Amino acid sequence: MTYFISGGAKNGKSTLAQDLTVTLSKGGKHYYVATMISTGSEDDDRIRRHIADRDGMGFETVECFRNIMDCLETADQEGVFLVDSVTALIQNSLFPVEKNYEMDLEAAHRCADELVEFAHTVRHAVFVSDYIYSDAEKYSENTEMYRKCLADIDRRLAKVCGTVIEVSAGQPIIHKGDLCI
């Protein structure tokens, strides 16, 4: 089973995704695929909160900042994977540190293809993404490209995932499929 969860910041997406992942694992292997590269204290705080939130839930953490298929080198594809978040993964691919954050559209397209491949390869996956592309504000060219790439990836994941959930004001809204918890 594959799940795609999206919504605004601090709306409960990660909590829902963690609970769903643990339920799907039925006591078996479940992985937290950490995708965020910290760029400062705010990111460090967010990472610490996420680690604390899943403490005692039995997750094995796999750091994967790009190339999502690489996490299968150390993890069992029969396990349950929580990819948190698609938003950070595309950011890492589109604006790579080693290229001084210069935009790499080819890497972003590869990231999208790999996420779809990952969804088809593993037994269970839960993808978390931030809904950051719906406002009418006009941003810089780079930010607009980032929002466009994320929207494209989200559409592709929503198409291939069996269940699509939007979290709004802490409440899950199921747009496709079922919630198993």
Whichever domain contains 114, its CATH number is 3.40.50.300
**Model pLDDT for residues 24-68, shown as the tens digit of each residue:** 999 999 999 999 887 778 877 887 888 888 888 999 999 999 999
Token readout for 127 is 């993808």
pLDDT in tens, 77-100: 999 999 999 999 999 999 988 888
Number of domains in the chain: 1
Which residue segment(s) compose the domain that 25 sits in?
A: 2-176
| Spatial separation of the C-alpha atoms in residues 148 and 154, rounded to whole Å | 10
> In this structure, is residue 22 part of a structural domain?
yes
Which string of DSSP letters, residue by residue, matches 9-46?
Answer: TTSSHHHHHHHHHHHHHTTS-EEEEE-PPP-SHHHHHH
This prediction has a pTM of 0.92
